[in-house]
Amino acid sequence: MTEFLSQHDPENRVQIHWGTDQSDKTAVPRIIDQAIQDGALDLVVDDASHLLAPSTASFEMLFPRLRPGGLFLLEDWSAAHLTERSLSSAIDKELDGKFAKQVTEFLAAEGYHPSAPMSVLICQLVVAAGRNPDWISDIRVTDGMCEVRRGAANIPHNTPLADYTGHLGHWIFEPRLAE
C-alpha cells in the first residue's frame, strides 16, 4: 500500500492509520479533525471489519461529517450471506453428512456464535432514508456494495442510528439486534 501511494499520491493526500479500530469513537474523530480542518468529508469507504457493530459505529461517527451530497460506501455488506450460501451449497452436495458434522464441530470448538449480519445495517439505512430523506437523500444497494448519499440537513456528530430510524425502526430492528 505504501509503495502504491508513493507512486500515485505525490501530494501525500491519502493518510493511513494502521491499527486504528474503525469503531474507536475517540481516535477516528480526532484523525478526521486533524486531517480536515472543517471536518467535511466527500467520501467514506467502510471496507473494514464486515461486522455490524463496528460498521454501525463507523457510520454514526462519519456520516454526519460528510458534506451534503457526500457518499458513504459500505463494501462487502453481503459477505455473511455469501459465506452461508457457499457452505449450504457444499453441505447440500455431500451425501454422508460428514462435512456438515466437521463444520459444526469446528465452529463449536472455535467458539463461533453467529452475530447479526451487516444486512441489518443496510435495512436500517433503507428505513432511515424513508424517515429522514433530508439526512439520507439516496441509497443504492447492489451485490456487496451499499451507497448512502448525504442529504442537506444538519446531522449532529455521532447521531445514533436509532435517531435515523425512529420508533418504528426500533420496533422493527431491536429484537434482531438483541440476538
pLDDT in tens, the chain (179 residues): 778 888 888 888 888 888 899 999 999 999 988 888 776 899 999 987 788 889 999 999 999 999 999 999 999 888 877 877 777 777 777 767 777 777 777 776 766 666 778 889 999 999 999 999 999 999 999 988 999 999 999 999 999 999 999 998 888 887 655 55
Can you give the residue ranges of every domain in the chain? 22-78+118-179, 79-115
| Separation between Cα atoms, residue 33 and residue 165, nearest integer Å | 27
The C-alpha cell that represents 43 in the structure block: 467520501
Q: Return the CATH number of the domain spanning residue range 22-78+118-179.
A: 3.40.50.150
Residue 39: per-residue pLDDT = 66
**Cα distances (Å, whole numbers) of residue 108 to 104, 105, 112, 148, 178:** 6, 5, 6, 36, 21
φ, ψ for residue 178, nearest 5 deg: -75, -10
pLDDT at 114: 67
* Per-residue model confidence (pLDDT) at position 58: 94
Question: In this structure, what is the dihedral angle of CA atoms 94, 99, 101, 102, given to the nearest 10 degrees?
Answer: 180
List, for residues 38-86, the tens digit of each pLDDT value. 768 999 999 877 888 899 999 999 999 999 999 999 998 888 778 777 7
Q: What are phi and psi of 60, to 5 degrees?
A: -60, -35
Is the separation of the CB atoms in 131 and 164 below 8 Å? yes
pLDDT at position 123 = 92
Residue 76 has what DSSP assignment? T
What integer pLDDT is reported at residue 96 of this predicted model? 74
